[in-house]
Amino acid sequence: MKRSSLSRKDKKNLVRILIALALFLAIFITDKVIVLGGVLEGPAAWVFPFCLYLVVYLIIGYDVLWRAVRNILHGQVFDENFLMCVATLGAFALAIYRGVTGQEIEGFDEACAVLLFYQIGEWFQSYATGKSRKSIAGLMDIRPDYANLVKEDGSVEKVDPSEVKVGDTILINPGEKVPLDGVVAKGTSTLDTKALTGESLPRDVAPDGDVISGCVNLTSQLTVRVEKEFYDSTVSKILELVENAADQKSKAENFITKFAKYYTPIVCGVALLLAVIPGLITMDWSTWVYRALSFLVVSCPCALVISIPLSFFAGIGAASRYGILIKGSNYLEKFNQANTFVFDKTGTLTKGNFAVARISPEENADDILHLAAIAEHDSNHPIAKSIVARYGKQTESGYTLTNIAGRGIVAEKEGDVLLCGNGKLMAEHGIAYTEEAGVGTVVYVARNGAFVGSLLIADEIKPETRKVIGELNAMSCKTIMLTGDNEAIAKNVAQEIGLTGYKASLLPQNKVEEVEKLLAHKKQKDVLCFVGDGINDAPVLMRSDIGIAMGGVGSDAAIEASDIVLMKDDLRGIALAKRIARKTMAIVTQNIVFSIAVKVAILILSAVGIANMWLAVFGDVGVAVIAILNAMRVNGKYTTDPIRDRPGTAR
Amino acid sequence: MKKIFRLEDLDCANCAAKMERAIQKIGGVNEANVSFMGQRLSIDADESRFEEIMDEVVRVCRKVEPDCKIIR
């Protein structure tokens, strides 16, 4: 990657354009002031301005002329270089013809200007595509250049990441990229994962913690044991995915290349007819040939052909900045139409962990938590852990804890008896308790024979889930949850989140069947997305129209099986991706309609003689530039937060 | 066998489309994809004749867009 914003070729061409432009303006203004055609007398008066303009023409157009000749030799006739040459040389010829026949001398400036504008447009296209490529290449910055391999004798050597083997030890200094996936052997530090996940908050790592390639080590040196070879590590997988993304072409792109294939020959054919037929009838050759030449200028399909892939590329690039990897333009296009979202519940809509959801009665919350924590603090059960975590303080020791299987825990200390467990435990001890009706696991707490209260432990719903589902619903998408939970829990969760549907009591292998059923019942133009955390759902991800894997970092299977990967375990990425897809497709449509409409309008106007060649140049280059600028809007800023209250706006 | 080649100096989107069509017509090529934005050619062709096919691909591309080089 070059640091300079212009490539060498762009720079060279820019200088050439500026020189030609200055020269052209100088000649043009002099011509208007003193009329160059009047310098020489007689029938050869045209020769003087012709020679001056010819110099400009050759400076700006020598490469176009050369390519046109070369391509004709190769049998490539309808090529933009050729069209430009025919149009401009034709304009020159017309001007000479007028000069020779003693009419007013004009048209040389036009021929030069057409080519000059054409080159400016070409330059701009090259600049814009280069810039857009670089924005994606920014993501390629995650590619590590070297690894500090620790050798057996303790010395450190810089080697290519691909030479490091599994089990080797590497050093990562502050400021360096993590070259390979591994586990920290020594050292604590913070890692910047922004390039990978779009997450701006640095992540802390300590011994035995995983480090993922592509992150940047921020604070202190880490010694890492390599777990995966380079080709297998996260960074390689992601780079491969991004590099391949441009290969998957969308329907819009295919349409436009097909359109271009027929458009140019048709316009050229019409141009020929336009020159010959009215020319023969009216014998006013110079007027009709001029109009036909204008046709040729507009006949380049470049604006269209370039702006569509550029829009998609910008869309994919914009998404990648937020840690959303889209595997191809076709998926971006399809995702815009996505209207059925099937979610795996655990780990996707919910955090997949247990947490205290409710304590009742609430006024005794501290007391209940305190007592429960005393009883549970020694246990490794996830439910016990969630209680201890919620309490968050040290508990007094000295209690004798007795675990009663299938019931709960009894804690005793100097006559103080705590009961902590399910309803059966309470009933067996003859304690009257208030039943907790909520969905989840309930833990009742009693002290010295008296009921104190209860804790409801449930899988925690992610904080962003409700908003994201809300936004999807507002886009009139169906949102369906698949879960192994029983009917009651599923219904409760679905209501709480605001899902439009759910399927309960599913075994993992039933997920594919359910998705198959949904696919079988959907309409032709419906697009079904499956969203999962990538664990055990590769078959479903592959089977659905669009598979979306969440928290893709570190899960190769998910990255491989899915079409869209959310690098960050954050559902908001789905709503964001949907907004990016919508904006991209809106711009693609705008560009197609705008470019074709302007071109057709200019064709008609030049056929009837209203538009001149200057306008025709705008129809070619101007449209291309506008379409490109429009395409670059895709790569703007997006808010990561779901937009709920303003359905139908994509900003 | 599927292989990916980098393309240098592929400057026009329409040429990319033309190259793609031309490559797809070559015998033994199952699938070919020229990405203008990615500056890449991905090609799936008969493995036994791959080198021979690639020679033809290079020849065809030189005809369509002489400035563009296929990095083999």
Condensed to tens digits (0 to 9), the pLDDT of residues A10-29 reads 888 889 899 989 988 888 88
Q: Could you list the active site residues of A?
A: 344
Residue of B nearest to A76 (CA): B64
User: How many beta carbons lie within 10 A of that of residue A100, not counting itself?
Assistant: 11
Q: How many domains does chain B have?
A: 1
Note whether residue A647 is domain-resident.
no
Q: For residue A159, give the CATH number of its domain.
A: 2.70.150.10
**What's the rounded mean pLDDT across residues A325-345?**
91
Q: What is the reported pLDDT for A647?
A: 42
Tens of pLDDT along A457-486? Answer: 887 888 889 999 999 999 889 999 998 877
- By the CB < 8 Å criterion, does A243 face chain B? yes
Note whether residue A239 is domain-resident.
no
Among the partner-chain residues B12, B33, B35, the one whose CB lies closest to the CB of A302 is B12
Beta strands of A165-300 (E only): which ranges?
169-172, 182-186, 189-192, 203-205, 210-211, 216-217, 222-226
Q: Are residues A131 and A30 in the same domain?
A: yes
What residues in B contact A311, CB-CB < 8 Å? none
Tens of pLDDT along A367-388? Answer: 888 888 888 888 777 788 888 8
Q: For residue B6, give the CATH number of its domain.
A: 3.30.70.100
Q: What is the reported pLDDT for A138?
A: 65
Q: In this structure, which amino acid lies at residue A562? A: S
Which domain range does residue A551 map to?
Answer: 324-349+462-580
- Token pair in block for residue A223: 């010694």
Per the CB < 8 A criterion, the answer to whether B32 and B44 are in contact is yes
Shortest Cα–Cα distance, A386 to chain B (Å): 49
Shortest Cα–Cα distance, A636 to chain B (Å): 18
Percent helix, strand, coil in chain A, to 5, is: 55, 15, 30
Sequence-distant (6+) residues with CB within 8 A of A304 are A256, A259, A260, A591, A592, A595, A596, A627
Instruction: Give the H/E segment covering residue A103.
Output: none
Q: For residue A522, give the CATH number of its domain.
A: 3.40.50.1000
Among the partner-chain residues A67, A260, A310, the one whose CB lies closest to the CB of B37 is A310
Most confident among A159-168, A267-276, A577-586 (mean pLDDT): A577-586
Q: For residue A438, give the CATH number of its domain.
A: 3.40.1110.10
Among A192, A227, A262, the domain-final residue is: A227
Q: Count CA atoms closer than 13 A to A627's CA, side-chain side.
A: 34
Q: How many domains does chain A have?
A: 4
Shortest Cα–Cα distance, A135 to chain B (Å): 12
Angle at B51 between CA B50 and CA B52, to 5 degrees: 90
Would you call B17 and A261 a contact, using CB atoms and an 8 Å cutoff?
A: yes
Note whether residue A640 is domain-resident.
no
Q: What is the reported pLDDT for A337?
A: 92
Would you call B66 and A306 a contact, using CB atoms and an 8 Å cutoff?
A: no
- Distance of alpha carbon A490 from alpha carbon A506, whole angstroms: 11
Average model confidence (pLDDT) across chain A:
83
Which domain range does residue B6 map to?
Answer: 2-71
The conformational region for residue A105 under phi > 0 = left, psi -120 to 50 = alpha, else beta, is beta
Q: Are residues A596 and A616 in the same domain?
A: yes
Q: Are residues A152 and A201 in the same domain?
A: yes
pLDDT confidence bin for A3, thresholds 50/70/90: very low
Q: Which of B37, B39, B61, B68 to mutate to test the interface with A (most CBs of A within 10 A)?
A: B37
Lowest mean pLDDT among A44-53, A81-90, A485-494, A642-651: A642-651
User: How many beta carbons lie within 10 A of that of residue A629, not counting itself?
Assistant: 12
Tens of pLDDT along A550-589? Answer: 876 656 677 778 899 888 888 899 999 999 999 999 999 9
Among candidate residues A24, A68, A83, A76, the one with its CA nearest the CA of residue A49: A24
* H helix runs in A550-571, sequence order: 556-561
Per the CB < 8 A criterion, the answer to whether A209 and A183 are in contact is yes
Among A residues 48-87, those touching chain B with beta carbons less than 8 Å apart: 67, 70-71, 74-76, 80
Among candidate residues A450, A490, A200, A477, the one with its CA nearest the CA of residue A345: A490
Q: What is the reported pLDDT for A360?
A: 80
pTM of the model: 0.79
What residues in B contact A260, CB-CB < 8 Å? 14, 17
Among candidate residues A423, A427, A429, A492, the one with its CA nearest the CA of residue A454: A423
Instruction: Give the H/E segment covering residue A451.
Output: strand A450-461
Tens of pLDDT along A599-610? Answer: 889 888 988 888
Indicate if the pLDDT at residue A633 is higher than 80: yes
Note whether residue A105 is domain-resident.
yes
**What's the rounded mean pLDDT across residues A267-278?**
87
- By the CB < 8 Å criterion, does B24 face chain A? no
- Distance of alpha carbon A156 from alpha carbon A170, whole angstroms: 8
Q: What is the reported pLDDT for A422?
A: 85
Q: What is the reported pLDDT for A561?
A: 83
